[in-house]
Amino acid sequence: MLLPAAKYLLGSPGASGFGSKSTADDVLTGGPDLSSLTAIITGATSGIGAETARVLAKRGARVVIPARNVKAAEEVRARILGESPAADVLVLPLDLSSLASVRSFASRFLSLGLPLNLLINNAGKFSHGQLALSEDGVEMTFATNYLGHFLLTKLLLGKMAVTAAETGVQGRIVNVSSSVHAWFAGDWAEYLRQVTRRNIAYDATQAYAVSKLANVLHTNELAKRLQEMGANVTVNCVHPGIVRTRLNRDREGLVTDLVFVLLSKLLKTIPQAAATTCYAAAHPRLAGVSGRYFADCNEAAPSPAATSAPEAARLWRASEAMICCATQHGSNASTTTTSAPILVVPDRNI
């Protein structure tokens, strides 16, 4: 335990040549020209996503920023163009917590006739206070961090496969998870059922952990399905590290501030936190690598619960059921916490 901790604190490079102190610019310096690539990056209105967008655009990639807050996305676009005037940055509306919005975004993007090489599912939400359900009746953190990304990936996968086949350039999907996924080791389906029905108290940290566990399980099952499809597309999952982004800055308070002071040496800067995402998205070393979990730009081991192939397949089936039910739920859903839940989860033995 002491050796890994020392390596992290010192930023010692791992097998990839990079470590915890490497920045997004570092990992792509001297890398391939990205001018022929188109990337969609969710959650790019601030923090790690905005830095990922800046670095990929700086190296020539066309960047599409889906955003619920279009004004904030336009401000990011302006900053990118200020640094890289020739950059091609598009802003399109998207609310990941709404499956209808995800479908609308995907339809609008596909209508543009653009290729799609990179899909970076980066957006993350930490709910505060009491339980909230999405308009589709799904616990809000799970809906935003996982289910919206599941549907987005499903709707865009065909375009990615076609782009890869036509250009010969391998497509890459990056799911941004968190080491917090290891904080949940129970039955994710039963937890979501019980929380949604208010049979147990809502714990925002547990809900976040479940959503991040789902990101890892999704990566594993998708990698398997991509291989079966014969698609020239890979998918990997990353833990960006601990960084004081807007997501955790929202949790202000004496205790939170004290913890951040005590752990300041463990916190990454935003450029450092974006490094692993950029490494997984564009570094040549990861050509053909799929279904892996990375931290500090090196392959790492996720929690035992995140490596279960049966649970990954079960989550996939549950996700398909939820997006199918959401289509029927549609405009009749309420955005309040009294919205009828649509959680449908297959039993483990099915």
Q: Is residue 277 part of a domain?
A: yes
Q: Is residue 285 part of a domain?
A: yes
Q: Is residue 343 part of a domain?
A: no
What confidence score (pLDDT) does residue 97 get?
97
**In the predicted structure, residue 264 carries a pLDDT above the cut 60:** no
Please say whether the beta carbons of 139 and 133 come within 8 A. yes
What confidence score (pLDDT) does residue 128 get?
80
**In the predicted structure, residue 328 carries a pLDDT above the cut 80:** no
Q: Is residue 332 part of a domain?
A: no
What's this model's pTM, rounded to 2 decimal places?
0.89
The pairing of strands 89-93 and 118-121 is unpaired
How many domains does the chain fold into?
1
**In the predicted structure, residue 3 carries a pLDDT above the cut 60:** no
Helices assigned H by DSSP within the chain: 2-10, 24-28, 47-58, 70-83, 99-111, 140-142, 148-167, 188-196, 204-229, 246-249, 254-262, 270-273, 275-282, 309-329
Tokens of 180: 């917090």
Which residues belong to the active site? 202
Q: Is residue 190 part of a domain?
A: yes
**Which residues sit opposite 133 in a β-bridge?**
139
Which range of residues forms the domain containing residue 168? 18-242+270-322
Q: What single string gives the DSSP state of each residue in 115-162?
A: ---EEEE-------SS--B-TTSSBHHHIIIIIHHHHHHHHHHHHHHH
Query: What confidence category does residue 13 fall into, taking pLDDT thresholds of 50, 70 and 90?
Result: confident
Give the pLDDT confidence of 31-88 residue by residue, as tens digits: 889 999 999 999 999 999 999 999 999 999 999 999 999 999 999 999 999 999 999 9
Percentage of the chain modeled with pLDDT above 90: 79
Q: Is residue 349 part of a domain?
A: no
The pairing of strands 298-299 and 293-295 is antiparallel
CATH number at 37 reads: 3.40.50.720
Q: Check residue 269 and report its DSSP letter.
A: P
Tokens of 97: 């917590």
Q: Is residue 263 part of a domain?
A: no
Q: Is residue 346 part of a domain?
A: no
Please say whether the beta carbons of 304 and 182 come within 8 A. no
